Amino acid sequence: MADKIVMGYWDCPSCGSTGIPGTTYDCPNCGRQRGKETKFYMKAGKVEYVPGHKVVGADWYCEYCGALNTAARTTCENCGAPKAESKDDYFSLKEQKPKPAPSPVQNNIQASPDQNKKIPIWMWIVLGLVVSVTLSNVLSAWFNKPRDYTFDVQEMTWENSIEIEDYRTFRESDWNLPSGARLAYTASEIRSYESVLDHYESVTKSRTVQDGGHYETSYSDNGDGTFTEHETYVPDYTTEYYEEDEPVYRQEPIYDTKYYYDIDRWTYEKTETASGNDKNPYWPTLNLSDKEREAGRESKYTMSGTLHYKSFGKDKEKQQTYEIQESWWRDIKKGQTIELTLEGDKLTEWK
Ligand SMILES: [Zn+2]
Ligand SMILES: [Zn+2]
């Protein structure tokens, strides 16, 4: 469809006349020439077509005498000055309007340097972490620093223990028979499931499809008192429903042979312990059946007594028990007073 030309209108600010046809250069009421402030508009309701009107370009004002000329003229109709000298045509005059005041968005951008001065929350978190890690390192270094104490040895003990296992029979089941197992019975049981196509089911689905279209009309200002009418074809869409077959599956069990069997295993049974507060440790006597065996030996040596220490400048003491290595236990004697070096709770040296 070819574009059509329709009439635009303007108002005279001098005498207040309104709705003057755009192709008119002088106000029909007061005779004043259409001013540089003019903005053409369209009237509501039915448009007035201007048959045969050729759009060449925007009207222009002569730089020397101010007369209004059509775009088709290369010189002023009034004084003959060349059009090339003129900076004022309908559209360039619209562009020369004063710039709008800064929008609220621009104000926010200008305000942002102030916000940057504040420390962001993540920096506080990092700072807090650094401080707390440093503090805890300092505290633990202080706490674990080796310190010497006086210790009155009151008791030396030993403990020897032996772990014992017994040979037991377990009833178990599996998909195969392990070596050494004695089969009791087998059974057919569900081992897994398989998806099997059962049937197809009709499902209603929807999709968007084009369904014809319509013309939409818009207008653009030609700057010569007229507007061009544009007809644009806009497609219309509709939702279409259709049926589709979808597969439906069922879960079918797969059977396999399960073996139920008896199997013998060494299993933890008990711990036999011997202990004393003398210097002659011995191992507990074992009375093992042929279905029992030793699974490991362990010795433990301890020293108990009174630890002397200072707290806020005052002498204090407390009962303490330390687990120590065998050579220390052999050398330290009951009733002795020794010097201990502790790192945190750990006994690291004595003399
Ligand atoms: Zn007028
Ligand atoms: Zn002129």
How much distance in Å is there from the Cα of 33 to the middle of ligand 1? 8
What are the per-10-residue average pLDDT scores of the chain (351 residues)?
Answer: 86 96 95 94 92 92 93 93 86 69 45 58 91 89 81 95 96 96 97 96 95 93 95 94 96 97 96 95 94 96 92 89 92 92 84 86
Measured in Å, residue 287 CA sits from the centre of ligand 2 at 133
Return the ligand number nearest the Cα of 69.
Answer: 2
Domain ranges of the chain: 151-164+271-350, 167-215+238-264
Q: 18 alpha carbon to ligand 1 midpoint, in Å?
A: 9
Q: What is the pLDDT of residue 89?
A: 87
Taking the CA of 79 as reference, the closest ligand is: 2
Buried b (16+ CB within 10 A) or exposed e, 189-218: eeeeeeeeeeeeeeeeeeeeeeeeeeeeee
**Four-residue CA torsion sign, 220, 221, 224, 225:** positive
DSSP state of 291: T
Q: Are 271 and 165 in contact (CB under 8 A)?
A: no
Burial class (CB in 10 A: 0-12, 13-18, 19+), 41: middle
Cα of 75 vs centre of ligand 2, distance in Å, is 8
Residue partners of 34: CB distance under 8 A and separation at least 6: 10, 12, 20, 24, 25, 26, 27, 68
Q: Which ligand is nearest to the CA of 11?
A: 1
H or E segment and range at residue 104: helix 104-117
Starting from the CA of residue 14, give the closest ligand.
1
> What is the distance in A from the centroid of ligand 2 to the CA of 63?
7
User: What ligand is nearest to the CA atom of residue 19?
Assistant: 1
> Cβ–Cβ contacts within 10 Å for residue 310, how many?
10
Q: SS3 sequence, 56-122?
A: CCCCEECCCCCCEECCCCCECCCCCCEHHHCCCEHHHHHHCCCCCCCCHHHHHHHHHHHHHHCCCHH
Q: What is the Rg, in whole angstroms, of the alpha carbon atoms belonging to the chain?
A: 52
Q: Which ligand is nearest to the CA of 80?
A: 2
From ligand 1's centre to the CA of 61, what distance in Å?
18
Residue with tokens 């377990």: 170
What is the model's pLDDT at position 97?
57
- Please identify which residue in the block is written with the tokens 């797969």: 254
Q: Which ligand is nearest to the CA of 29?
A: 1
**Contacts for 197 with CB less than 8 Å, ≥ 6 apart:** 247, 248, 249
Q: What is the pLDDT of residue 289?
A: 94
Q: Distance from CA of residue 92 to its chain's centroid?
A: 50
Nearest ligand to residue 24 Cα: 1
pLDDT of residue 117: 62
pLDDT at 100: 52
Q: Which two tokens stand for residue 189?
A: 């049981």
Q: How far is the CA of 31 from the centre of ligand 1 (A)?
A: 6
Distance 32 CA to ligand 1 centre (A): 6
pTM: 0.45
Residue recorded with tokens 């079918």: 252
68 alpha carbon to ligand 1 midpoint, in Å? 16
Give the Å distance between the CA of 282 and the centre of ligand 1: 129
**pLDDT on residue 84:** 86
Distance 149 CA to ligand 2 centre (A): 113
Q: How far is the CA of 8 from the centre of ligand 2 (A)?
A: 25
Question: How confident is the model at residue 110, as a pLDDT?
Answer: 44
* Beta-bridge mates of residue 216: 232
Could you say which ligand is closest to the alpha carbon of residue 17?
1
User: Which H/E stretch holds residue 328?
Assistant: helix 326-331
Cα(227) to centroid(ligand 2), Å: 26
218 C-alpha to ligand 1 centroid (Å): 30
For ligand 2, the distance from its centroid to the CA atom of residue 225, given in whole angstroms, is 20
Ligand nearest to the CA of 34: 1
pLDDT at 96: 65
CA 35–ligand 1 middle distance (angstroms): 10
For ligand 2, the distance from its centroid to the CA atom of residue 88, given in whole angstroms, is: 12
